Each structure stands twice: as C-alpha cells, then as structure tokens.
Amino acid sequence: MPHFFKRRTLTIVIILAILLMALTIITSGQRSNLTKIEGIVGDIITPVQKFMYRIATSVSRAFQSISERRQLEEQYAILKERVTQLEQQQLEMDELIRENERLKRLLEFRQEKEDFVVQGVRITGKNPGNWFNTLTIDKGSRQGVEMNMAVINEKGLIGRVTEVGGNWARVRTIVDGQSSVAAIIERTRDNGMVRGNNTLTFEDGLCRMINLPLDSDVVEGDRVITSGLDDVFPKGIYIGRVIEVLDEKRDMYKTAIIQPGADFQRLEEVLVIRRVVE
C-alpha cells in the first residue's frame, strides 16, 4: 500500500511538471492580450522560474568560486616558489658581500705590510673542537709554502705551518697548547713567551704570556706583538691584548692571560708570510 501512494505521488508530480512545461511553451509567445488561463499559469510559473533561476545562479557562482580558488592556489604556489628562489639568491648575495669585505680587509692589510711577501689562502679543514687548534689550507709546496711560515690575517697572528703537502698545508694555531711564540709587550717592551691554553682536556681559546719579569708593570689592555726572537715569526705582528695579570709571589716570573686578536671560530681566509724581505 505505501508503495502505491509513493508511485501515485510521483506520477502526479511528473504530470504536473509536464503540464507546467507545456503551458510555459504555449504562453512563451509575445502577445499583448493573455487569456485568463495564461495569466493564472503565468502567476504559478513565475515564482518557480525565479526559484530555479536563483538555484542556477547559485550553482554557477559556486563553480566560479571553485575555479577562482584553484587559480589563486596555483598563483600562490608559483609566488611561494619564487619567494624561495629570491631568498636563496639574497643569501648567496649576502655571502658574496661578506666574502668581498673579508678579502678587501686582507688586501688592505697586505698592502700595509710592505715588508712581507704574502699570499692569500683558504681554510679547507679544521680539527674537531671549539677553537680549532690546527687548520688545513689550500696551498702547499707547489705554491711556495714551506715549514714554519707564519700565518696571519688582518686581526693578528694565526699560527705557523707545521706540515706541507703538494697543494695543502697544516697550520698549528697559537691557541694550541703545543704552540709557542716569542713576544713582547708593546708598551713596556717586556719580553716573554706566548703559549696556547688549549689541550686535549681543556679549551678556552686563550693564550698565556709566561716568563715576564717580576718588575714588569704590564696591565690589562696592553697589546702583545711578536718579538722576532724565535726566527719563526717576523717582528711586530699583533697577537692579542692582556685581559688578566697573574702575580704569584712564589713564582719567579709574571704571567699574563692573552685574548688573541684573531677570531679562531670564524676563520675562512688567511695570509701566509712567505718570507721577510731583507
């Protein structure tokens, strides 16, 4: 029984729909005078047409909105990729600017040291640790690098060459515990020996100047330079500044703690002093 009513209702709906469509076609002609039936049909059909028009318009706008959203997503993806490319280009440009600034400072320093014959090298390796006790450079015997040549940059002394290959060399820095440099306090002219503090079990990136006379009036802030007395490092190269003076009464000498001028954690390019011009 329920199926019968459902079928009957569906049949009635279909018949009414067909009648409405037929009446729409009949009344679609352009005439000035309409019959009463046509007027009634028009009154019935007009709301339906308005409703269907609204539905069609809404559907059209929905599809248009979906299309526009897809276009926006595609444009966003393109713009995002472009921004990434521009950021990478900016990083590369910034790196080139920083490198040019470093090389410019090295060149200016080299020109100031007219009594040194030097060549620029790049650091290609560093030993493990925070302060890099040894470095590897990209020049060797084929480029004129020899044992015990001094290595510097515009901020001060780096170390000396301890191993030489054909196209590479190894440098022991002044902060290494096995390093020693004959030095002098620039203001007082007191002589001593600068040694690195870094060992296998301890690192602080500092040096200490030992064997200073007990009557030395060395103070914090004094500049320390090479004395040239070890026949390895030319005289007058800046090493660092005094940050503390140890004056133990039981010792026969004073000791000064030195903060190196060079930043060993950020070294990239350095200069090798090939020989001192007589």
Summarize pLDDT for 204-240 with one digit per residue, the tens: 889 999 999 988 999 999 999 999 898 888 888 899 9
Other C-beta atoms within 10 Å of 182: how many? 17
Q: Is the pTM of this model over 0.85?
A: no
Residues 245, 219: contact at Cβ < 8 Å?
yes
- Using alpha carbons only, how large is the chain's radius of gyration in Å? 44
pLDDT in tens, 76-110: 777 777 777 766 766 666 656 665 665 566 566 55
Superfamily of domain 117-276 in the CATH hierarchy: Rod shape-determining protein MreC, domain 2 (2.40.10.350)
Task: Give CA–CA dist 23/95, Å, rounded.
Answer: 79
Task: Give CA–CA dist 257/243, Å, rounded.
Answer: 6
Residues of the chain with pLDDT under 50: 5, 277-278
